[in-house]
Amino acid sequence: MKKILALLILLLATVTAGFARTADALTPDAETVTFRFRAGADMFLPKGNEAELTRLYALVDTYREQIADGRIPVYVDGYCASLPTAKENRRTAYLRASRVKSELVTQKGLREVDFRTTLHTGASDGGKEAVTVTLRIPAPEAAQPETPAVNEPAPAPEPVMPATPAAPAAAEPQPAPVAEAAPQPAPAAKPYCFAVRTNVLYDAMLLPTLGVEWRVSSDWGVKLDGSFAHWSGGEGKVQKVWLLNPEVRRYLLRNKRFYVGVSGSYGEYNIYKYPLGGLFSKNTGYQGSLWSAGLTVGYQLYLSRRFSVDFNLGLGYTRSEYDSFTPIMTEIRIPGDDFPAIECVRVIKERSKTKNFFGPTQAGINLIWTIGGNKQTR
């Protein structure tokens, strides 16, 4: 009897010690990094905290996967006790903790959900002027202790009864197979649907231009530009123009920034000097109409989710019918007036002339503002 009692006591002590070792092995191992702040200040200065910052970066790199799936939260404790009121201390502790978290977000890609933040504002917290970052790292699970074997008498064998044949079990009806629904593909992200544009190159030539573009899909777009000018000045200067320019575009490549298109234009003009008239002749004016058709190529440079710049050039066929003229300043004397009136008279040089040529049909540096649908992406 004494031998059995001693054996039971030995077995109980062995199991208790094994559970104690297992509990110690599962206790988290805390890694704490401390960043010092100047009294009353909330700005986080890496200078003076380099060693702790390097150690924290190494810990985050080591346990990045466990932090991402929530197994190891990042505990951030902000301290401040140097300001006159509890409200000021709490705000400064909050700003200090936020500065340190921002460092981890921008440099190591952590998210706000990865942090557990606590603010400390009293002298009872040790009067710290610091922020501590703690990672509680669980130790690997220890193996369960083995229970020593106890020699027990083997049980007597039970008599074996002759097996009786079992009745065949009735076949259970199997449910009909259910066809799994094919996964539906996620809808593709749509580009912007509507945008307003202006051609700053034409605007600089005193030909204000405003247009719209409708992006039918990620591959196709429809654009319409309109230009209008109504300027006149002394010595017969004039620039009166209206022009419409429709276009259908096909966007190419993976990022859909390059495109080719088919475009046309129609308009009327009356120009002498000013920027446009000066391009053709300094002493001759032109009045008539034109139309063109051709191909365009272009590239859109994205500046932000709302703004982009569109560079394009068109080549094709243009036909123009016009009259050319030369303004002449004449004096008209009215009886009774001491000074003669000066008037501009147009002298027609060529009438009903026609000009056909192959070459540039349009050029543009367009500023685009996206105002509808999904914004553009880089």
- Which amino acid would we find at residue 218? S
> Six-digit token pair at 314?
């068109």
Q: What beta strand segments (E) does 216-340 contain?
A: 220-232, 238-252, 258-272, 285-302, 307-332
The DSSP output letter for 126 is T
Q: Which domains does the chain have, with CATH numbers?
A: 25-137 (3.30.1330.60), 192-373 (2.40.160)
Backbone angles phi, psi at 88, to 5 degrees: -65, -40
| Cβ within 8 Å of residue 360, ≥6 positions away | 313, 314, 315
DSSP, collapsed to helix, strand or coil, labels residue 118 as: strand
**Residue 45 burial (CB count, 10 A):** 12
Q: Does 220 have pLDDT greater than 70? A: yes
pLDDT value, residue 187: 45
- Which amino acid would we find at residue 11? L
> Six-digit token pair at 180?
């799994």
Alpha carbons 75 and 168: distance in angstroms, whole number: 64
**Residue 312 burial (CB count, 10 A):** 22
Over residues 267-307, the pLDDT tens digits come to 999 988 777 766 677 778 889 999 999 999 999 998 988 89
| pLDDT-based confidence at residue 186 (cuts at 50, 70, 90) | very low
| pLDDT-based confidence at residue 81 (cuts at 50, 70, 90) | confident
Q: Does 4 have pLDDT greater than 80? A: no
| Cβ within 8 Å of residue 32, ≥6 positions away | 132, 133, 134
Q: Does 225 have pLDDT greater than 80? A: yes
pLDDT value, residue 179: 45
Backbone angles phi, psi at 30, to 5 degrees: -85, 130
pLDDT value, residue 30: 80
Alpha carbons 140 and 30: distance in angstroms, whole number: 14
| Interior/surface letters 199-235, b for 16+ CB within 10 angstroms, e for the rest | beebeebebebebebebeeeeebebebebebeeeeee
DSSP, collapsed to helix, strand or coil, labels residue 257 as: coil
CA dihedral angle for residue 61, residue 62, residue 64, residue 66, rounded to 10 degrees: -170
| pLDDT-based confidence at residue 45 (cuts at 50, 70, 90) | confident
CA dihedral angle for residue 61, residue 63, residue 66, residue 68, rounded to 10 degrees: -20
| pLDDT-based confidence at residue 347 (cuts at 50, 70, 90) | confident
Q: Does 88 have pLDDT greater than 60? A: yes
